[in-house]
Chains A and B, each alone.
Chain A
Amino acid sequence: MAEKSKLNLNRVPIPKQPPEVRRRNFNEVALGYSYEQALEEANRCIACKKPGCKDGCPVNVDIPEFIEAMKAGDMPEAVRILKSKNSLPGICGRVCPQETQCEMTCNLAKKGGPIAIGRLERYVADWEREHPEITEKQKGNINCNGRNVAIVGSGPAGLTCAADLAKMGHRVTIFEALHVAGGVLMYGIPEFRLPKVIVQGEVNYVKSLGVEIKLNHVIGKIATVDELLENGFDAVFLAPGAGAPIFLNIPGENLSGIYSANEFLTRINLMKAYRFPEYDTPIQIGKRVAVFGAGNVAMDASRCALRLGAEEVYIIYRRSKAEMPARLEERENAEEEGVILKLLTNPSRFIGDEKGRVKAVELYEMALGEPDESGRPRPIRKPGSEFIMEIDIAIPALGTRPNPVIPSTTKGLELTKWGTVLTDEATGRTSKERVWCGGDMATGAATVISAMGAGRRAATDIDGWLKNRG
């Protein structure tokens, strides 16, 4: 009886803004647990002898331990445990795909009710932010036998690597190309999924460890990687992100009103175009918006379009719902808010008006055939199925390919056939001595947490290598 009562499989739902409200504002969708809700969820954890959750986490957060501290009501301890392995918990708690990581390997997942680890992580991180007086900030051991490490890019990989190296006693300088730190967390992921004050809070934490962040520094332009190595840096970690957007490569794609998802999201998130003309950067939205692609970025772009006032927003995807690469939660959020999925449909050309603005797209229908090399059914064009759809804005969200600025200016850096930097996955080492790489530049577009994992592994290897070198 006692055993049975422990197995509470009812996850405490996270309060959210109702879809009809949130679809028109940029405030955060998920509102976060109250203390009572967090405690109730924490108390469902059965503290198993062989916890599965830890193995599912790319940065091996001591999940059962921080949940135990929560249960005991010791929030400062929960913060300490969480942050000892994860420098960006407020971000991870919001954007990690927990359902394929820690929550998938949670022993309660088999029974159908894994602990909502992400929501608890978010609660702990937010609690810390609201109680800055309680948690003593860890200070980096600057000048403590430390070496100088340069990190290129202040996204999730760069910030994690920087924080780890600073904690190990190294002097770390991050070079960021944009005018704020955070990389994709600032320009890519929208405010309603990841508020920018949370990102800046975690950037400030990394700075508090003694990390220096130099903004407006495009490595490859203002200084090359080789110049960094010649000018006092013992090691360089490359984490510049994926970079260049992929377009559909169909006629009419350069008409105005067609934004890469990167441009659309950058204008909105980084430049705050949704507050034009209070902010100077404009964005156009019109009535009908078509987003091409079905990953998380496509979901973000379509949901931003709704919030900017578009009447109809379509996700146009050549396969079926089952193959959509976006997280289930993001797809559901988008659908709840009114994004319309147009599946098994592909564009063939854009049609413009006399001013060079897009006014329509020609689409055709697809059928699913045998699985292709990716294991997903191959979409096949249905002959004679072409039709025209009027649109005001089009947003290709098809992923990115590596930005060539660093590879083309760095001697001896081997690339893969995809243009990513050839990198040893376990250590982050590249073909060039004293240069490590991680995040999207090494793997192609992936998740925030996998980039953080790469940042952590590289930090460990860099530290070991620097110490061996004496």
Chain B
Amino acid sequence: MYRIIKRELLVPNTIYLKVEAPEIARKAKAGQFVILRVDEVGERFPLSLAGWDKHEGTIEVVFLIMGKSTMKLSSLCQGDCIMDVVGPLGKPTEVEAYGNVLLVCSTFGVGPAIVLAKPLREKGNKVISVMEVKDKTYLFWEDRLRSVSSETHIVFGDGSCGKHRLASQFVREYLETGNKADRVFVFGRVFTMIECCKATKPFGVKTIVALTPIMVDGTGMCGCCRVAVGGETKFTCVDGPEFDGHLVDWELLIKRKRAYLKEEAQAFDLYQPDNLRQLTGLSKLPERASVV
């Protein structure tokens, strides 16, 4: 069992957790993730590491409430325990002395971006952070990002600040106006990744994206998280999660991410009656569960 030390609603639908996991904290590196299972009937799902503290023995995650599993995780309070946390999984980010690095992030990608900024700067890189935010309501950790970046730019989706609405627009203009970028990293929404890759491709700037497909075991055993990169099938959990964004088959990634939409909606719908059943003592399960 893995105890929650701190829980915070950062912005609507976005939860921050600090969890006791000393062994994972000791080994964690930027770019890695953990697999969680909230309770006995829970599914296994991955979350990127948004921080860790070796001395305190804790890890941090930031996630969006998307469906039943993240809803269940969000309903845990400080002091509650998560049943299973396994990690650190995936390959750490390759951190070299690239020169000028654009670090793009949106929503839950802010955490892993902050984590990467530190080792990038330790290698002597100039880190230009670009945070894409829907509107001011959804802005979080600006100070944290600023404190680890050489330069920070915030792009608001409602156009309320500056002329850009998407991080990719900033990136495109940045490159078009003759600024040099030696490497780009993108964390967060798939849409942000795709658009940034489109922006960087004409300039031949290598763009690394952190993919978040559906996973089961997370250790290379099942192949659920397979993606096509440069025409080759890769397992995100052991070969990734970071890949060259210019080589990723985005259409395939999106289709595979959407493969269980129907089931996800069903599980989410039944989450409420599930609570009700507990409260009222009603024991009838929905029809589909009657296989056995």
Contact = CB atoms under 8 A, between A and B. Distances in A.
B94 interface: no
Interface residues of A, number: 52
Interface in B123-140: none
A177 B259 contact: no
B222 A245 contact: yes
Nearest to A253: B233
Interface in B208-247: 216-217, 219-224, 226-228, 233, 235, 238
B291 A275 contact: yes
A244 B27 CA distance: 24
B270 interface: yes
B291 A308 contact: yes
Interface in A205-231: 215-218, 221-223
B34 to A, nearest CB: 9
A404 B238 contact: yes
Given A221-B88, A277-B288, A280-B267, A254 B260 contact: no
Contact of B221 (A243, A254, A255, A275): A243
A209 to B, nearest CB: 24
A405 interface: yes
B279 interface: no
For A187, A221, A247, the residue with the greatest tally of chain B CB atoms inside 10 Å of its CB is A221
Interface stretch (B40-48, B107-115, B155-163): B40-48
Contacts of B256: 254, 256, 356
- For the side of the interface on B, what is the size category? 35 or more
A254 B270 CA distance: 30
Interface string A305-339: 00111000000000000000000000000000000
A266 to B, nearest CB: 5
B53 interface: no
B143 interface: no
B41 A247 contact: no
A274 B86 contact: no
B263 A222 contact: no
Contact of B259 (A187, A243, A357): A357
Interface string B265-292: 0110010000000000000011011011
Interface string B176-213: 00000000000000000000000000000000000000
Contacts, number: 144
B25 to A, nearest CB: 10
Interface in A380-412: 403-405
Contacts of B286: 277
Nearest to A179: B84
B23 interface: yes
A358 to B, nearest CB: 10
Interface in A160-205: 177-179, 187
Given A263-B224, A356-B252, A309 B219 contact: no
Contact of B220 (A243, A284, A308): A243
29 contacts: A24-B291, A177-B217, A215-B84, A218-B219, A222-B24, A222-B27, A222-B86, A243-B219, A243-B221, A244-B235, A244-B238, A247-B223, A256-B255, A257-B259, A259-B224, A260-B222, A263-B216, A263-B222, A266-B221, A271-B216, A275-B292, A276-B263, A276-B289, A277-B270, A277-B286, A280-B42, A356-B251, A356-B258, A405-B219
Interface of B: 23-24, 27, 37, 41-44, 68-69, 83-89, 216-217, 219-224, 226-228, 233, 235, 238, 251-252, 255-256, 258-260, 263-264, 266-267, 270, 285-286, 288-289, 291-292
